[in-house]
Amino acid sequence: MVFIRRTREYFLHLGANEEQFQTARSMRHKMTDAESVLWNALKNRKMCGLKFRRQHPIHYYVADFYCHEKKIIIEVDGGIHNSKATKEHDENRSAEFERLGIRVIRVTNEQVLNSPDEVIDKIKRSISDESC
């Protein structure tokens, strides 16, 4: 029997395997325009002093943006997320994250590109922290 130490690294990634880490690395180099816009608003603790990570591997998935302090994932959905199969996958994925105690905020590419201030306000409301 192998004992897996429950280190900070384990809790930060919840057992993601090397394949998820490789996928996350490649996704960081291929961010969409909407993800880039949102990343500019989140990086360097610009959002309420919180640390966000982009394309972060968690469990079996790679989250677009993740804040470990608040256990929040922000997903930016493009047009492909409108299909029935993808919507079902997204719902299952969100349910799995919520089962792990992580809240999921979903926004669309159009929302981020057309009204970024509204998206930022939505995220701040979700965080609901006095420091914002």
Distance CA(132)–CA(97), nearest Å, equals 24
Reading phi first (left if > 0) and then psi (alpha if -120 to 50, else beta), residue 55 is in left
The residues spanned by each domain of the chain are: 33-125
Backbone angles phi, psi at 100, to 5 degrees: -85, 0
Beta bridge partners of 104: 73
Question: Exposure of 43 by Cβ count < 10 A (0-12 exposed, 13-18 middle, 19+ buried)?
Answer: middle
Per-residue model confidence as pLDDT tens digits over 15-64: 777 888 888 888 888 899 999 999 999 999 999 999 999 999 988 889 99
pLDDT, position 129: 61
pLDDT, position 1: 42
* Residue, of 13 and 127, whose pLDDT is higher: 127
Architecture of domain 33-125: 3-Layer(aba) Sandwich (3.40)
In 78-124, which ranges are E strands? 103-108
